Amino acid sequence: MPFPIKICAVCSEEFELKPDKPGFANRCPACSEAETAEPATSSRMDTFERRHEKEANEARRQAMRDLLYRKDS
Ligand SMILES: [Zn+2]
What is the Cα 15 distance to its own chain's centre?
A: 26
Please give the pLDDT value at position 61. 94
Contacts of residue 42, Cβ cutoff 8 Å, sequence gap at least 6: none
pLDDT at 40: 55
Ligand 1 geometric centre to CA of 47 (Å): 30
CA-to-CA separations, 7 to 15, 22, 23, 25, in angstroms, rounded? 6, 16, 14, 10
**pLDDT digit string, tens, across residues 17-64:** 998 888 888 999 888 886 555 555 556 667 777 888 888 999 999 999
State the distance from the centre of ligand 1 to the C-alpha of 1, rounded, in angstroms.
23
Which residues sit with Cβ closer than 5 angstroms to ligand 1, an ion? 8, 10-11, 28, 31
Range 42-48, long-range pairs (CB < 8 A, 24+ positions)? none
pTM greater than 0.95 (yes/no) = no
